[in-house]
């Protein structure tokens, strides 16, 4: 009976979630309850000045407390000081408060919050509590799945604080509104026969921010590919490119890579 329940859980994960595991944003669908996930994300971004490379490594642990609530913890490591050093971390929680399921489609909404600590120097106007700024973020996500296509959008408020001993610059705006729109499509397999099949997804995301105090903003485009193996392992490869910006950003363009492995029914 236990083996059957695990198989059913894996089948549900493939059929319901494979097309909405976005690379640069989270969908409104949580990971299954009583499941544990380990992630390693790295970004290789080209510096706007000097031609250097901005490298971040962000290991992460996620846990599905229930079908409605998941939590995660993340560490920040970068080469900001010419060698890889730990700069801080973040905790994140997401609560799914709306779930309308139908045959081969569903609509879900979730609220999320993040609190981050970072001790690196503050070197740009862009506010980013994932790897750059201490602070917090709170927002709402809406995701629509239509058979093999997933559409998702989010809006959030983000507040930056001092980075350890580095005071937040007085001439910078310290809070912003973030917004995103993501679309993904399951390309392979054409016909589902079992959870051992590899899933191949194509995605396109738009990521933007507007600083509340001075109105400066940016908009990025981010295409990506995703592979899901045995309904447990996941490989993401994405490229983020700035469409326009009126604010100072240290490294807006570059690649993101992510490896993830999930353990189901851990307790």
Indicate whether 11 pLDDT > 50: no
Indicate whether 189 pLDDT > 60: yes
108 close to 96: Cβ distance less than 8 angstroms: yes
| pLDDT on residue 46 | 93
Higher pLDDT, 218 or 16: 218
31 φ/ψ sector (left φ>0, alpha ψ -120 to 50, else beta): beta
4 φ/ψ sector (left φ>0, alpha ψ -120 to 50, else beta): alpha
Is 35-264 CATH 2.40.160.40? yes
196's CB contacts (< 8 A; 6+ apart) are 230, 231
68 close to 30: Cβ distance less than 8 angstroms: yes
Range 210-234 average pLDDT: 97
User: Domain segments of the chain: what residues?
Assistant: 35-264
What does the mean pLDDT of the chain come to?
A: 91
Range 61-80 average pLDDT: 95
The tens digit of pLDDT for each residue in 192-220 reads 888 889 999 999 999 999 999 999 999 99
Interatomic CA distance for residues 25 and 97, integer angstroms: 18
């Amino acid at each position: 009976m236990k083996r059957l329940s695990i198989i059913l859980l894996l089948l549900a994960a493939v059929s319901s979630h494979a097309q909405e595991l976005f690379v640069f944003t989270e969908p409104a669908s949580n990971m299954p309850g009583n499941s544990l996930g380990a992630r390693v994300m790295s970004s290789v971004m080209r510096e706007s000045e000097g031609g250097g490379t901005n490298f971040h490594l962000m290991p992460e642990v996620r846990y599905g407390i229930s079908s409605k609530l998941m939590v995660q913890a993340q560490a920040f490591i970068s080469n900001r000081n010419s060698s890889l050093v730990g700069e801080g971390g973040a905790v994140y929680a997401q609560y799914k408060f709306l779930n309308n399921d139908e045959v081969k489609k569903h609509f879900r909404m979730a609220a999320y919050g993040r609190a981050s600590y970072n001790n690196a120097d503050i070197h740009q106007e862009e506010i980013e509590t994932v790897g750059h700024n201490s602070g917090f973020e709170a927002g709402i996500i809406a995701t629509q799945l239509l058979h093999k296509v997933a559409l998702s959008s989010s809006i959030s408020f983000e507040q930056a604080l001092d980075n350890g001993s580095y005071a937040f610059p007085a001439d910078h705006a310290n809070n912003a509104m973030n917004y995103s729109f993501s679309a993904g499509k399951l390309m392979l397999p054409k016909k589902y026969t079992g959870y051992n099949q590899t899933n191949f997804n194509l995605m396109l995301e738009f990521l933007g921010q507007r600083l509340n105090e001075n109105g400066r903003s940016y908009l990025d485009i981010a295409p990506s590919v995703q592979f899901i193996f045995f309904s447990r392992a996941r490989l993401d490869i994405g490229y983020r490119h700035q469409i326009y910006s009126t604010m100072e950003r240290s490294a807006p363009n570059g690649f993101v890579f992510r490896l993830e492995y999930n353990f189901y029914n851990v307790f």
